[in-house]
């Protein structure tokens, strides 16, 4: 004989509803945080919210410069990893201080020297903060409006 | 109050929640596997970069040993498989929620928060305590086999034997769980919309800032040597396009909670949100994996009808009384 099982009891429903409401309140709690604060797993989801204007924007990045002055992009994996957001974060943070910029620069220079290939002609690595006109950039004007070299180091080819 | 409770606890099919469980489990399996190289790389970085976030800020002062992180990732993958299959669900589901929190929190402790993981973890928290393995699970299959054996024994001996029944026979808890999952989804979108309005005001809707974000993100990718969206770059010259796009984004995010008022509104919203995420991929090459996969919105749709749909789509087998084709030769 099948034992009858009652539906979820009333007190259990109130308890579950209360717990669900508490979880929702917890998720909404970061609305009270300052916008500069973010965390995980609670967040105020600030992505794409800051005021950013297309005509003038600064980007921290890494370039390899050959002996004749040709500038080349260093592949992601030689900078930090294959993940572009991780690389952007690594370079952005390193570019904030002269020591950290120099340390990252030297690490990348060593990896570039070992890698050879397309970057075999690289003589110098630069960690730079460049300011671009974002609209002009995608119309072909790739040169930055301003370039601030945060660290420079030689590539000692093996 | 009772009317609100009745609405919150109105029954929904058990198979729908089970479908959500399977999809979320498979998503965790696929997502953690896809992130494996990054997760392993993170665990081997310079310890100076380590800045624990969330619960790890209280628990960890220094990075874990890489071998321990590898073991944690392997355990998470194993638990996700058991979760999807519905094996020892009451034990496995809370363990998976904790494991996913540990892995994603640890990854986020190296300076970069991935905002689409928050909702995944919140959904896992709810599923961990819900009766999501009552059907379409190995636990349910084992239970029904045991019940059949008991019933057979009963009929043979003529004695009364009790059999197990579902925890939630009328599907009320399933309905409540699915509504809570939907409410959490809507809450996270609402938060993202409010953040835009708090940071930039209603000016965000004019589209200038969205255009700036698309330009910045693609330009940064180009300068870092990563693939970027050529289409996003190309469209930047058409400023007028960005006002409707920005308005659409804000309506999707800030208006999300209103869709909880009606089932069809929620489904239309989910499809629009899915389009919104695919739009971000097309214009910025940024994949928010959990919503992009559709799994984040799956509970809003009648997953319980999937087996019927598959059955109908399968080519029909010949009727038993139809004449057999003569054997060759």
CB nearest A28 (choices: B113, B191, B226): B191
Average pLDDT over residues B132-145: 95
Please check whether residue A137 touches B, CB under 8 A.
Answer: yes
Which has the higher per-residue pLDDT, B166 or B98?
B98
Beta carbons of A84 and B226 less than 8 Å apart: yes
Please check whether residue A73 touches B, CB under 8 A.
Answer: yes
Contact A134, B212 (CB under 8 A): yes
Which region, left, alpha or beta, applies to residue B111 given φ > 0 means left and ψ of -120 to 50 means alpha? left
What does the alpha-carbon distance between residue B198 and residue B202 come to, in Å, rounded to a whole number? 9
CB-CB neighbors (< 8 A) of B200 in chain A: 49-51
Please check whether residue A87 touches B, CB under 8 A.
Answer: yes
Q: Which helix (H) or strand (E) holds B275?
A: helix B263-284
pLDDT band at B327 (very low <50, low <70, confident <90, very high): very low
- The answer to whether the bond into A86 is cis (omega within 30° of 0) is no
CB-CB neighbors (< 8 A) of B210 in chain A: 48
Secondary structure string (H, E, C) spanning chain A: CECCCCCCCHHHHHHHHHHHHHHHHHHHHHHHCCCCCCCCCCCCCCCCCCCCCCCCEEEEEEEEEECCCCEEECCHHHHCCCCHHHHHHHHHHHCCCHHHHHHHHHHHHHHHHHHCHHHCCEEEEEEEEEEECHHHHCCCCCCCCEEEEEEEEECCCC
CB-CB neighbors (< 8 A) of A75 in chain B: 225
pLDDT tens digit string along B41-70?
888 888 888 899 999 999 998 999 999 999
Average pLDDT, chain B: 91
Beta carbons of A41 and B121 less than 8 Å apart: yes
pLDDT above 70 for A35: yes
- Residue whose tokens read 């960890």: B60
Q: Where are the domains of chain A?
A: 1-50, 57-154
What does the alpha-carbon distance between residue A131 and residue A143 come to, in Å, rounded to a whole number? 9
pLDDT tens digit string along B300-310?
999 999 999 99
Interchain CB contacts (distance < 8 Å): A and B = 203
pLDDT above 70 for B192: yes
ipTM, 2 decimals? 0.90
Please check whether residue A74 touches B, CB under 8 A.
Answer: yes
Residues 6+ apart with CB under 8 A from B254: B190, B193, B194, B197
pLDDT tens digit string along B218-272?
999 999 999 999 999 999 999 999 999 999 999 999 999 988 888 899 999 999 9
Beta carbons of A3 and B164 less than 8 Å apart: yes
Beta carbons of B113 and A91 less than 8 Å apart: no
Predicted model pTM: 0.90
CB nearest B215 (choices: A47, A54, A88): A54
The greatest distance separating any two alpha carbons of chain B, rounded to the nearest whole angstrom, comes to: 82
pLDDT above 60 for A7: no
| SS3 (DSSP) at B18 | helix
CB-CB neighbors (< 8 A) of B185 in chain A: none
From the CA of A107, how many Å to the nearest CA of chain B? 12
Substitution target in A54, A99, A136 with the highest count of B β-carbons within 10 Å is A54
What's the angle, vertex CA B80, arms to CA B75 and CA B85, rounded to 5?
A: 130
């Amino acid at each position: 004989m099948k034992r009858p099982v009652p539906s979820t009891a009333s007190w259990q429903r109130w308890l579950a509803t209360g717990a669900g409401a508490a979880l929702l309140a917890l998720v909404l709690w970061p609305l009270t945080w300052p916008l500069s604060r973010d965390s995980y797993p609670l967040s105020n989801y600030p992505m794409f919210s800051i005021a950013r204007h297309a005509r003038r924007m600064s980007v921290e990045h890494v370039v390899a410069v050959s002996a004749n002055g040709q500038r080349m992009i260093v592949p992601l994996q030689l900078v930090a990893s294959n993940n572009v957001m991780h690389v952007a974060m690594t370079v952005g943070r390193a570019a904030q201080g002269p020591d950290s910029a120099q340390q990252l620069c030297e690490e990348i220079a060593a990896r570039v020297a070992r890698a050879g290939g397309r970057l075999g002609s690289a003589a110098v690595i630069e960690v730079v903060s460049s300011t671009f006109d974002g609209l002009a950039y995608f119309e072909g004007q790739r040169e930055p409006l301003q370039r601030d070299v945060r660290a420079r180091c030689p590539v000692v080819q093996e | 109050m009772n009317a609100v409770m009745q609405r919150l606890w109105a029954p929904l099919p058990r198979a729908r929640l089970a479908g959500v469980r399977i999809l979320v489990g498979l998503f965790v399996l696929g997502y953690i596997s896809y992130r494996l190289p990054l997760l392993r790389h993170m665990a081997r970085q310079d310890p100076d970069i380590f800045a624990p976030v969330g619960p790890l800020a209280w628990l960890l002062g220094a990075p874990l040993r890489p071998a321990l992180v590898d073991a944690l990732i392997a355990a998470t993958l194993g638990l996700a498989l058991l979760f999807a299959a519905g094996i020892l669900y009451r034990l496995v589901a809370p363990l998976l929620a904790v494991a996913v929190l540990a892995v994603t929190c640890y990854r986020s402790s190296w300076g970069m928060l991935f905002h689409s993981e928050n909702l995944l973890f919140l959904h896992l928290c709810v599923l961990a305590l819900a009766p999501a393995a009552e059907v379409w699970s190995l636990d349910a299959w084992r239970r029904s086999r045991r019940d059949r054996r008991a019933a057979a024994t009963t009929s043979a001996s003529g004695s009364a034997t009790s059999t197990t029944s579902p925890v939630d026979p009328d599907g009320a808890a399933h309905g409540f769980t699915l509504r809570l999952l939907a409410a959490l989804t809507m809450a996270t979108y609402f938060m993202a919309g409010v953040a835009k309005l708090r940071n930039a005001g209603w000016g965000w809707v004019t589209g200038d800032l969205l255009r700036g974000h698309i330009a910045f993100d693609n330009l940064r990718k180009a300068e870092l040597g990563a693939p970027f969206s050529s289409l996003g770059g190309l469209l930047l010259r058409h400023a007028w396009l960005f006002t409707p796009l920005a308005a659409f984004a804000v309506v999707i995010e800030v208006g999300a909670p209103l869709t909880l008022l009606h089932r069809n509104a929620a489904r239309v919203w989910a499809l629009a949100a899915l389009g919104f995420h695919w739009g971000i991929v097309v214009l910025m090459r940024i994949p928010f994996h959990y919503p992009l996969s559709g799994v984040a919105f799956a509970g809003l749709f009648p997953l319980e009808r999937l087996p019927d749909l598959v059955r109908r789509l399968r080519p029909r087998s010949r009727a038993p009384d139809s004449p057999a084709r003569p054997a060759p030769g």
